[in-house]
Structure 1
Amino acid sequence: MHPFTSLTLWLWLSASALFLPLGWPLILLGCGTFFALLLWQPARHRWRIIAWLMLPMAAGLWLIHGEWFAQLLTGDALKSSHPEFAMALWFKLLTVINGSQIWLQYVPTERFIRALFASRLPASFAYLLAGPLLLVEQLRQQLNTIREAQLARGVPLDGRFWQRIISLPALLFPLASNTLSELSIRGAALDMRGFRYCPKRTTLNPPADSQWQTLLRYGLILLILIEGGIALWW
């Protein structure tokens, strides 16, 4: 499947979850996407990311919209308590995050970058979208190099939690300085390659696309608009 097709499927799933009210369809959608992630072996390790995001969010929504915390502080019941709204918001975000984690596992970064450059998007806009993805691996390597250098200097980056927090500027400032110093080099490299000279760029080994996938993408976008109109009308 083309990366844009799977991305459109995730957008449709997320929009459908956002338009649904609190009820069994929304609960089944949130739990079903989570179980689908657990059943898919390559993406099973991502359940920890979802747990680290959703459990604190559930606690925060419960403290804000729950009556117990208000009674503990003021002694009175919270008049503006909306536990149904909090539960609906939590299940909607659960569905969106589950779908995003499945999509991230299904579509490798390199394949998505090739799809961007092989698409009909302008070269400048495609590079704007793919630029952060291209820099991730380079930033990771620079961060490892800076960390080893700071450890050799005696900076307690592997110490206690509070020491690591205090030592974060020793990592972030050199990383930001190196990134900014490379902007002129990257700009010169793009000018030498004739960046934006041609309206459409070509890539090696572009992801395979077909007419039915294109029709499916347009159909899903139209379906999102229809669902949004029905949700706003009712």
Structure 2
Amino acid sequence: MHPFTSLTIWLWLSASAMLLPLGWPLIILSCSLFSALIIWPAARFRWRFVAWIMLPMAAGLWLIHSGWLSQLLTGEMLQNNHQERAMALWFRLLAIISGSQLWLQYVPTERFIRALFASRLPASFSYLLAGPLLLVEQLRQQLASIKEAQLARGVPLDDNFWQRLTSLPTILLPLASNTLSELSIRGAALDMRGFRYTTQRTTLNHPIDSPSQRWLRYGLLLLIIVEGGLTLWW
């Protein structure tokens, strides 16, 4: 499946989750996506990312919308509709975040970058979207080398939490300086390749797209608009 097709499916699921009221369809959709994240062996490690986000969010929503904090501060209880809205928001976010983790596992970063450069999007816009993804691996390597250099200088990066927190500028400042110094080099490389003078790029081993998948994407986008219109109408 083309990366844009799977991305459109995730957008449709996210839009459907946002439009569904609190009820069994929303609960089943959210739990199914999270269960798929756990059942799929390749993506099983990603359930921790979802849990780290959703569990503190559930505690915060319960603290604000349960009425306990409001009764403690003002002596008044909140209405039940506020609690229902908070629960609906939590299940919607669970569906969106779980679906995004499934998509991230299904579509490798390099495949999505190739799809961006081989698409009909303008080259400058494609690079704007792919630029942060291209920098991830380089930033990881720079972070590793900066950390090794700072540890060799005696900076306490592996000590207790407070010392690691106070030592963050010794890592972030060299990282930002190296990144900014490479901007001119990257710009010169793009100018040498004629990046701004051609509208279409040639990408090796680009993802295969088909008319049926393009029609599926258009249909899902139209379905999102129809669902939103029906929700606003009713």
TM tier relative to shorter chain = over 0.9
- Tell me the distance in 2 between the aligned counterparts of 1:151 and 1:18: 47
Aligned to 1:122: 122
Letter in 1 for 2:145: T
Q: Deviations over 1:54-99 (max 9, x none)?
A: 0000001111111112223344323697100000000000000000
- Tell me the distance in 1 between the aligned counterparts of 2:21 and 2:75: 31
Letter in 2 for 1:162: W
Aligned to 2:233: 233
Letter in 2 for 1:147: K
- Tell me the distance in 1 between the aligned counterparts of 2:31 and 2:74: 35
Contact kept? 1:123, 1:200, Cα under 8 Å: yes
- Tell me the distance in 1 between the aligned counterparts of 2:229 and 2:83: 26
Contact kept? 1:66, 1:81, Cα under 8 Å: no
Structure 1 pair 51/136, CA: closer, same or farther in 2 (3 Å)? same
Q: Deviations over 1:86-122 (max 9, x none)?
A: 0000000000000000000000000000000000011
Letter in 2 for 1:131: G
Aligned to 1:211: 211
Structure 2 stretches of 5 or more lacking a match? none
Task: Supply the RMSD in Å over aligned alpha carbons.
Answer: 1.1
TM-score, normalised by the number of residues in structure 2: 0.97
- Tell me the distance in 2 between the aligned counterparts of 1:170 and 1:229: 52
Counterpart mapping for 1:76-87 below 5 A = 76-78=76-78, 82-87=82-87
Contact kept? 1:117, 1:201, Cα under 8 Å: yes
Q: Shift of the alpha carbon at 1:155?
A: 1.1
SS at match of 1:82: helix
- Tell me the distance in 2 between the aligned counterparts of 1:80 and 1:22: 13
- Tell me the distance in 1 between the aligned counterparts of 2:78 and 2:229: 33
SS at match of 2:157: coil
Aligned to 1:3: 3
Between 1:181-190 and 1:191-200, the stretch displaced more is 191-200
Aligned to 2:166: 166
Letter in 1 for 2:17: A
- Tell me the distance in 2 between the aligned counterparts of 1:224 and 1:80: 30
Structure 1 stretches of 5 or more lacking a match? none
Q: Deviations over 1:182-233 (max 9, x none)?
A: 0001111111111122110010001011000000000000000000001111
Counterpart mapping for 1:75-224 below 5 A = 75-78=75-78, 82-224=82-224
Aligned to 2:62: 62
TM superposition outliers: structure 1 runs of 4+ over 6 Å = none
Q: Deviations over 1:144-200 (max 9, x none)?
A: 111111111111111111111111111111100000000001111111111122110
Q: Deviations over 1:38-69 (max 9, x none)?
A: 11110011010000000000001111111112
Between 1:205-214 and 1:66-75, the stretch displaced more is 66-75
Contact kept? 1:17, 1:95, Cα under 8 Å: yes
Aligned to 2:30: 30
Contact kept? 1:155, 1:167, Cα under 8 Å: yes
Between 1:5-14 and 1:144-153, the stretch displaced more is 144-153
Letter in 1 for 2:196: R
